[in-house]
């Protein structure tokens, strides 16, 4: 077990949700320590606001889960709804923001902004693209890298870093899973 102390100094003031790498503990797959500020965790907020303002939630996490660029609303939602910081046997929940529109199923996200989604939702929507011309799925990882898959009349295309290439349906799941790590 690595016993080196983690330096949380730059983390505490820079974002409502941050990741500090270098964590490991025998018997667990966690590789990061997550740090949530009061605006993300809300601990003690009702009963002791003064204590809440200086309380940080520190929890084992995975590097893929936290971007460090989350605003207060995103940090609150990620911490409270997706990460389950008190569950030490949880599986990894990669940072995924997406938007989509499927002409065949008539399902779509609301608005032009990408919203948080589980990886399984991203994979499912990518699987439904084939044979739905005019449909797309756009997703962002924790580094801010954006990919977009489009269904055309002749197949599927994947756009990333201003490069567009044809892909087959089987490739999209692999791309989605590796792109959010």
Retrieve residue 161's tokens.
Answer: 């870093």
The whole-angstrom separation of Cα 103 and Cα 114 is 18
Residue 25: band (very low, low, confident or very high) from pLDDT cuts 50, 70, 90:
confident
- Predicted confidence at residue 159, as pLDDT, reads 98
The whole-angstrom separation of Cα 131 and Cα 152 is 8
Q: Edge-to-edge, what's the strand order for the sheet holding 97-101?
A: 115-116, 97-101, 136-140, 146-152, 155-160, 163-167
Task: Please report which residue ranges of the chain form alpha helices under DSSP H.
Answer: 9-14, 38-41, 49-53, 72-77, 119-127, 169-179
Average pLDDT, the chain: 91
pLDDT digits (tens, 9 = 90+) for 81-93: 899 998 989 999 9
Q: What percent of the chain has pLDDT over 70?
A: 93
Does the pTM of the predicted model rise above 0.75? yes
């Amino acid at each position: 077990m690595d016993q080196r102390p983690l330096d949380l100094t730059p983390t505490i003031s820079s974002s409502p949700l941050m990741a500090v790498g270098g964590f490991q503990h025998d018997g667990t797959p966690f590789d990061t320590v997550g740090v949530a500020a009061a605006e993300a965790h809300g601990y003690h907020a009702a009963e002791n606001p003064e204590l809440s303002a200086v309380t940080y939630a520190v929890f084992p996490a995975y590097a893929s889960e936290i971007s460090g660029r989350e605003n207060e609303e995103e940090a609150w939602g990620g911490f409270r709804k997706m990460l389950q910081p008190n569950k030490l046997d949880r599986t990894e929940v990669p940072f995924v923001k997406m938007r989509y529109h499927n002409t065949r199923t008539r399902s779509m996200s609301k608005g032009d902004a990408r919203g948080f989604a589980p990886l399984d939702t991203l994979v499912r929507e990518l699987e439904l693209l084939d044979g739905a011309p005019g449909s797309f799925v756009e997703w962002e990882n924790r580094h801010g890298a954006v990919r977009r898959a489009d269904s055309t009349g002749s197949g599927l295309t994947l756009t990333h870093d201003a490069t567009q290439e044809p892909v087959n349906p089987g490739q999209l799941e692999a791309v989605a899973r590796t792109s959010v790590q």
